[in-house]
Structures are given as C-alpha cells and as structure tokens.
Structure 1
Amino acid sequence: MGSGATATSTISCAACVISTRAVLFDFDGTLADTAPDLACAVNAMRAARGLQPLAAAVVRPYASMGARGLLRVGFDMTPEHPQYIAMRDEFLDLYGRALCVHTCVFPGMAELLAELEARDIAWGIVTNKSSRFTTRLVEELGVAPACVICGDSTPHLKPHPAPLLAAAEKLDLAPADCVYVGDDLRDIQAARAAGMRCVAVQYGYHGTDNPGPATWNADAIISRPAELLEHL
C-alpha cells in the first residue's frame, strides 16, 4: 500500500456517491486506546503529591485533549496557572517513560486496517499528538500507515484543516478522495474545513465541552471500527 492509491470504494454523501481512495484516522480515541497510559502518568503525578488516583473512567473523556486536558482533570489546572509549564513538562516526561504499557489499537481496528489494505485503500494517521510520542507508538503497535501527520508536522493543529490537507498532499490525493475518522468535534470541523468527508466514532473519548457525536454534523457515526466499511 502506498501513496496515490487507485482503489475506489464509495460513501453516500447527500445526493451523490463519491469514491474513497484513502481513510485518515485520528490517533488517540479513534485508532488507539491510549487513555490507560495517559491516566497512569496523571496518577503518578498525583501520587507524588499525596493525592489519591483518579479512576480511568474519570480521566478517559480528557484523553484526546493532550496535556492541557489531563492537567485539567488531574489538578484543575489551566494554561494560565503559573506552574502550568513545569507541570506539563513533568507530565510529558512521565508519559514518555511508559508510553505503550497498556495502549493498544481498539478492538476490531487491526481487522479494519487489514481490510483497507486488502482493498488497496491507503490509510494514514492525522493527530495533534507530537511526533515525539506518535512515531514511537506507531512502531510499538506494529501498524504501517501510508502517512503520519503529527501535531508538529504543520504550523497548525486541528480543527485547522492544514494537517488533513498535508496528509492528502503526501498521499497525492485530492481532499475529496479522503475520509477522515475521529472521536472529537475538532476532527469533524477539520475535515469539513479541508473538504473531506468525515466519520465520527461513538467508542472514542469525545472531550467534555460538547454534547457528543450526534451533534457534530458528521457524514456518519460508527460504534465499532468494522462499521466504517459500510460507509466506504
């Protein structure tokens, strides 16, 4: 599987049927369940300060919001706090030391990726996570995306369309040939701004500042990875 994939599957979109030549995935909460290791880093910081650990279910909704969200749930701390930078660096250091202990692809994701490859449909990753972590995780999980665009790959983060457009360019495809799959409102906003079709995942993290995927105006919502094939 490489750039410029030529296979054509289809997705229904309003009154038209459009070819799909690539599927791009958000990483945290869409392709991989990274919440357990992120929670471990937060709880290690809490333990060092004599605080009780947070339950995984408490941390999970914040897992796709990066250090900002995790320090918010762990310490009620915002970027305006005078200790925020030091706390962020401590969190990232702890996370980097135990990056892929409990992290895994979501159930059914490996089978979905194999099916996309069997159909000669390119797939890639577009994430706000930095390359410092993403590159290692991709290697340790043993997946082989055709492209990986990280939070430091372009000057902008999602919901800006630049990362998605960079992925399409790397695959030598038009944005309209791609479907973007994500678990956060900003994923859908980025896809819309980039001119890509978009699928929201019900099983992801979703964030805390919106009512959930039903309100995001995605082209489709799926509850498990295999359902994506019904929309291609």
Structure 2
Amino acid sequence: MSVRAAPTARFPRLALFDLDGTLLDSAPDMAATVNRMRATRGRGPMPLEELRPHVSRGARAMSAAAFPELGGEVPPETIREFLDAYELELGRSGAPFDGVEELLRAIEDDGARWGIVTNKPEYLARQLLPMLGWQERCAILIGGDTLAQRKPHPLPLTHAAAVLDVEVEDCVYVGDDERDIAAARAAGMRSVVALWGYRLPHEVPTEWGGDLMAETPIDLHRADRWPR
C-alpha cells in the first residue's frame, strides 16, 4: 500500500501588510521630520527612541509627542507641516526591517501575492515603493485616504481582497498596531501581530486578538508558521 505524502504548506494566497513598523522601519525618517519642525522653533532634536513608540500612530501622535505643550490637540496646520517635512525626509534614513526582503521573496516564490494596507497618505506611501524596489512587486497599495474609511475599519482590507479577487479566508493581514488587528478581525481575515514594530509601553499585544504573534519577520519565512 502506497503512502500519500503530506501536503506541503503554502503561504496565504494574499498576504497584506501594514507599512510603518511592519515592513518598514521608518522611525529614523520620522525623527528627522519632527526635528526639522523643532529646529524651526529653536528647539533641540528629539531622541529617536522617544519618538519610536509613537510612529505607528501617525502624524498627529508624533506631532503631539514632539510638542507636548499642545496637550494632544494638534492643529491641522501642524499636521500639514509634518507631512510636508516628512516628504522631504521620505526614504532617506528608513529601511525595511531585517528579514522583510527575504519574507517577500518567499511569498513570491510560492506563487502568492502581497500588498500594503496602511494609514499613511497614499501619495506618500506610493513614493516609497520605487525607493524600495517594490513598485512592480506590490500587488496593491491602499493608503489611509484611498477610501472613505481607514483602519480600524475593515473596508481597506476587504477592498484589497476584492480588487485582487481573493476571498478574505485566503488572506492574512500583518500589522504592529492594535488597529491593524481590529481591522482584520472585523474583515473576517486572519492576522499576525508584528511584535518587532512600534508600540507604547502600556500596550499589551496579547490582548488584541491576533491569530499569531511573530517576534521577527524571520518567524514568517516558513509557510507552515502562518495562521490557518
């Protein structure tokens, strides 16, 4: 009697990723951005490690951290100033996290696809792709202003799956922020918590409800380690 070989594990047909804090260590670019703003006000630089936990929260949170006298009330003109300064620093110091490039190659070699769903404005995220050599490889890019809703709403994830004609059951979303995992759960999509990313000291990722906790991108290099 012949013995049937066990099926080889494969990557999800569509792996979707957050950008800042998941694929890309953009904290150095963000620190350069707020320090441009601080310099115009005659202030010294903010240490990178002080800003790093706020990066995944976006321009408003980073501006609030850089200028605590605002009391968390960041006016629209300060957000605009941040985005304009960030565009000048875009891709100058940041880089993919160790193991990310090998992870994306492994997904591609398996015949699967990957894409990016971020809350970063689309025009900024799109400028990064050629800098990283990803413009021909990324199957879809959804920014925070691409659609009527942004994460933690599930629409960006369900839209990405629909555009690429992939069932949500065949997708996995990887992100480092609680909003990422909430969006995946609301979309009916499995999720991976990227523990290597950015988060504040009081945050407890084990309480977010993700399907898998990954310490580094290397943990995801093997298809059999992804949630099923």
Fold agreement, TM-score > 0.5: yes
Taking the TM superposition and a 5 Å limit, the aligned residue runs for 1:91-170 are 91-143=82-134, 144-170=137-163
Which amino acid is the alignment partner of residue 60 of structure 1?
Answer: R
Which amino acid is the alignment partner of residue 120 of structure 2?
Answer: K
Partner of 2:5 in structure 1? none
Q: For the residues of structure 1 that align with 2:116 and 2:201, how far apart are their CA atoms?
A: 24
- CA deviation map 1:13-62 (0-9, x unaligned): xxxxxx82111000000011111101111011111112121111100011
Which residue, out of 28, 44, 54, partners 1:52?
Answer: 44
- CA deviation map 1:163-222 (0-9, x unaligned): 00111011101111100000000000000000000000111002x385232221111111
Which amino acid is the alignment partner of residue 170 of structure 1?
Answer: V
Which residue, out of 20, 39, 43, partners 1:28?
Answer: 20
TM-score, normalising length: structure 1: 0.87
1:231 to partner: Cα distance: 1.8
Q: Which moved more, 1:116-125 or 1:209-218?
A: 209-218
Which amino acid is the alignment partner of residue 159 of structure 2?
Answer: A
Superposed CA RMSD:
1.7
Taking the TM superposition and a 5 Å limit, the aligned residue runs for 1:215-226 are 215-226=207-218
Partner of 1:86 in structure 2? 77
Gaps of 5+ in 1: 1-7, 11-18
Partner SS state of residue 58, structure 2: helix
Q: For the residues of structure 2 that align with 1:101 and 1:225, how far apart are their CA atoms?
A: 22
1:139 to partner: Cα distance: 1.4
* Contact kept in structure 2, 1:156 and 1:163, CA below 8 Å: yes
Partner of 1:211 in structure 2? 203
Partner of 2:226 in structure 1? 231
1:195 aligns with 2:188: yes
* Contact kept in structure 2, 1:33 and 1:106, CA below 8 Å: yes
1:158 to partner: Cα distance: 0.3
Partner of 1:181 in structure 2? 174
Partner SS state of residue 50, structure 1: coil
The structure with the largest strand share of the pair is: 1
Identity %: 43
Gaps of 5+ in 2: 1-7
* Contact kept in structure 1, 2:64 and 2:73, CA below 8 Å: no
Q: For the residues of structure 1 that align with 2:83 and 2:38, how far apart are their CA atoms?
A: 14
* Contact kept in structure 2, 1:9 and 1:20, CA below 8 Å: no
1:80 to partner: Cα distance: 3.9
- CA deviation map 1:82-134 (0-9, x unaligned): xx112111111111012110111111000000000000111110001111100
Q: For the residues of structure 2 that align with 1:167 and 1:161, how far apart are their CA atoms?
A: 10
TM-score, normalising length: structure 2: 0.89
1:172 aligns with 2:165: yes
Structure number with greater Rg is: 2
What is the count of residue pairs matched by the alignment?
A: 214
